[in-house]
Structure 1
Amino acid sequence: MGLMTREQYQNSIRARKPMNVWFLGEKIEDLTTYPVLSASFNAISKVYELQSNPNWKDLITVKSHLNGEDVSIYNAPLSSPEDANRKTRAARALAEVIGCCTHRCTGSEAFAGLGPCTYDMDQDLGTNYFDRFMKFLDYVQKNDLTCTVTVTDVKGLRTLPPHKQPDRNSYVHIDEIRDDGIIISGYKCNQTGILFAHEIIIVPTTAMQPEDKDFALACAIPADSPNITFVLGRTPQDKRFFEIGGDIEGIDLGKKYADHQAMVYFDKVFVPNERVFMCGETKYVGRLLSYFTAVHRLTAGGCKAGGCTALCGAASLITEMVGVQKAGHIKTKLTEMAMIAETVYALSIASGIEGFKHPSGFWIPNPLLSHTCKYTCTKIPFDAVRYARDIIAGFGETAPSEFDMRSPEIGEICRRAFNPGNPEYDSFDRLRAVRFIEHMVRGSNWTAMALHGGGNQEASTVMARSFTDWKHLQNIAKSACGITKDGDKYDEIINDIGRRNGRICTIGDLPKSDK
């Protein structure tokens, strides 16, 4: 089939079988026309649209090494540092356009984890998971499908492992192993973009012990499979989607692109063998997550850089509207916002360059840099958020609605009050910029993505700790301060530093929990 156009993608979503989706206690009959989901449908449709744009083609499409066709970068595993950096640049550029998740990145990162992990399992155990996975990937590429990964189980009581949970459904698990496949059940949450995906990929959420073998599974399921229930999550502005119409253009939404998150319940869903990529191999769960998160947290840097760039642009625009762009403290804040974007972008680029080639042919980003990137994304974008809210000032935070601005009775009063005074802009321009900032900092899930998307601070810290070569750090200090007095040992340390080219990561090794 080849790359889909915007219209072909939208038609493919409309052609899916009916899905069991709920919001505010009511079932959604048509996801593609439901107001709360319209911005999300717009966002992923825009990504498909840009595939046909000559100015974007080289950034978001590549030649497949499986079938030789042009495919989306979201369906092409990384095979080189150039691929990793393209993913970072694409994530940033797309975030600058849509200001939210592309809905396709997590699927690509599931591929990045499953490829090398299934290869390892086949080499060690004699399974045929890698062949299954590569055939599935070829199918996804040839049909230009959108895939999303379900990672986060609801977990129940956090002090208990999966197999001791009072409700086994707290983690997705295997109910039954049959000759032709498996039956699975359980919950997943925080699933971005899942309602407009063609395929759902399931991977575990945490490393497991042998007793948790029923919970050690990875597989792929069509999103419109039977026995799946979806519950759409709320955002602070979801009711505003119902307000558009007539003279109301939707300024109070902030922008026409957004993402969505949903909780998912799998109730005895059948998965055929050819779509099963892990089935009880608890020893390899941590390895799968290590490969997956190395790419997933690289993407966070590009994505958050793009969001920060857009936020900085809106804040800068506001300063020009109201005439404070030359104030020293304003210039400092805007510059800091720009540097915040560059910081997380640089970490993402570096982790791609400093990675390593897996025997399967997949490129694994430097995991220490990748997790450092994600950890940084949980912190410094919030400085950009604070600066943006500071710059729009209190009147921006409490701005009148578009309804009031257009009201025959009080519209003129509101427009005069909110007019910035700059003849190049009117009150509606100011409201558009203000609402864009509001959408980014408190109206949508963008800040939640910065904090929790791809894992929170502690998750990044744990992984970074496991990939830091602490003995090497100690040897650096021993040689530098004279503790190492043996000449041969000193030379060994110095040579090791040179061999590593400045790296302190246990690159290529597995996390300690897997050893």
Structure 2
Amino acid sequence: QHKDYYLRVVDKQKDGIVVRGAKYHISCTAAANEAIVLPCRTHGEEDADYAVAFAIPLNAKGITLIASDPEIRGPSTEETIWDFPVASKLGVGDGECMIVFDDVFVPWERVFMCGEWQFSRDIAILFGTFHRLFACCRMVPMMEIMTGLAALMAEYNGLENYSHVRSKLSWLVQVTEAFKVMSLAACMFPEKERDSNLANPNGMYTNISKYMYAENFHQFTKFIQDIAGGIAADPISYRDWMNPEERPYLEKYLDAKAGIPTEDRLRAIRLVADITGGRHDTHQIHAEGSLQAQQMMFFREADWGMYKALAKREAGILGWEEHPTVGSMKNFSDILKEKMPPFDTSYKV
């Protein structure tokens, strides 16, 4: 195997460095002027050449962009918005790319790190935390839309009063609201840098929030598809709906419950097909890092000393007193004595 799977420094010159390798899944690259390149994992002394960070124009010599195929080609139209209500908005502009660096020269004034492998872990972790906070920001409205879509399909299909449907809707609301609160907590309880006092997103809450969304996303799509029904697998297209010969049949046989226009139901069904299928199903799981990446951060951020000390305290095992937080905790009986008035010992039965 070659050494270029990760981007690395292949030459150091008087006026700059030369890098080789590739970066993948980089969003909106084709629409950007420059890229800021960072290490994506922890590197050791033996692979210090991979610990590199710099800024580079995307039209620099030696850079090749290989873009992912968009779901929608060309500008959004009335037809594409009907058929692909989500992809028509996102499929054109997102444009993930593989960025290939084929012996690209980077001037020293644009290099932020070169071989300082000791800092690669901190950069990767901090970038991941900020990136997942961004994920929380974009996922909150997505979960609200999906919860609303499930409720809308239940209404349009006349199922909103069935207990098993209400149970699914209740679960969707539960996860959505819990995710919103956890995402907010990631900002409301920041972690401050010791030297600079800069505030960063709370690492534990950010990763829990992102994991909560990704872990439950397929259950979201399952419930929405279940409530929508099999018609979401082969929904009516814009061209069919606009065809004057077909439309009377569609109006007659695909109408919603009384009072709901057939067009509204068909538009909602197209949204189900678009939002719960295609690349979105994979994108929501792996964007901003896989599920395992978040679990690794839970383990790293957890205060295992505190958890163990609490267990020792409850079990009567010595050693809990040494923990700075648990060791200073008062006994419940002592707290009650402080709050309650003294007993009246003069009273006799």
Q: TM > 0.5 between the two?
A: yes
Q: What is the deviation of 1:385?
A: 1.5
The 5-angstrom pairing of residues 111-190 of structure 1 reads 166-190=1-25
Tell me the equivalent position of 1:448: 282
The one of 35, 55, 79 aligned to 1:248: 79
Which runs of no fewer than 5 residues in structure 1 stay unpaired?
A: 1-165, 499-515
Tell me the equivalent position of 1:130: none
The 5-angstrom pairing of residues 34-433 of structure 1 reads 166-234=1-69, 238=71, 241=73, 248-255=79-86, 256-258=88-90, 259-358=94-193, 359-427=195-263, 429-433=264-268
Contact map agreement 1:322 1:422 (CA 8 A) in 2: no
For 1:465, give the aligned amino acid.
F
SS at match of 2:89: coil
The one of 263, 277, 291 aligned to 1:457: 291
Q: For residues 105 and 130 of structure 2, what CA distance do their matches in structure 1 show?
A: 29
Tell me the equivalent position of 1:79: none
Contact map agreement 2:306 2:323 (CA 8 A) in 1: no
Tell me the equivalent position of 2:336: none
Tell me the equivalent position of 2:339: none
Q: For residues 243 and 364 of structure 1, what CA distance do their matches in structure 2 show?
A: 38
Tell me the equivalent position of 1:143: none
Which runs of no fewer than 5 residues in structure 2 stay unpaired?
A: 331-349
1:368-388: CA deviations, max 9, x gaps? 222222222221232222111
RMSD over equivalenced CA pairs, Å? 2.6
Q: What is the deviation of 1:302?
A: 2.9
Tell me the equivalent position of 1:481: 315
SS at match of 1:188: strand
Contact map agreement 1:229 1:264 (CA 8 A) in 2: yes
Larger of the two Rg values belongs to structure? 2
CA distance 1:196–1:383, change in 2 (3 Å): same
The one of 463, 471, 474 aligned to 2:305: 471
Taking only the aligned residue pairs, the percentage that are identical comes to: 26
Tell me the equivalent position of 1:99: none
Equivalenced residues, count: 325
For 2:79, give the aligned amino acid.
I
SS at match of 2:215: coil
Q: For residues 282 and 27 of structure 2, what CA distance do their matches in structure 1 show?
A: 12
1:427-449: CA deviations, max 9, x gaps? 3x22221222222211343x333
Q: What is the deviation of 1:490?
A: 6.7
Contact map agreement 1:356 1:363 (CA 8 A) in 2: yes
Contact map agreement 2:236 2:270 (CA 8 A) in 1: no
Q: For residues 306 and 32 of structure 2, what CA distance do their matches in structure 1 show?
A: 44
For 2:10, give the aligned amino acid.
D
Contact map agreement 2:240 2:246 (CA 8 A) in 1: yes
SS at match of 1:205: coil
SS at match of 2:104: strand
Q: For residues 430 and 418 of structure 1, what CA distance do their matches in structure 2 show?
A: 8
Q: For residues 118 and 329 of structure 2, what CA distance do their matches in structure 1 show?
A: 32
Q: For residues 324 and 118 of structure 2, what CA distance do their matches in structure 1 show?
A: 34
1:452-503: CA deviations, max 9, x gaps? 111111111112212222222211111111012x7x93786634569xxxxx
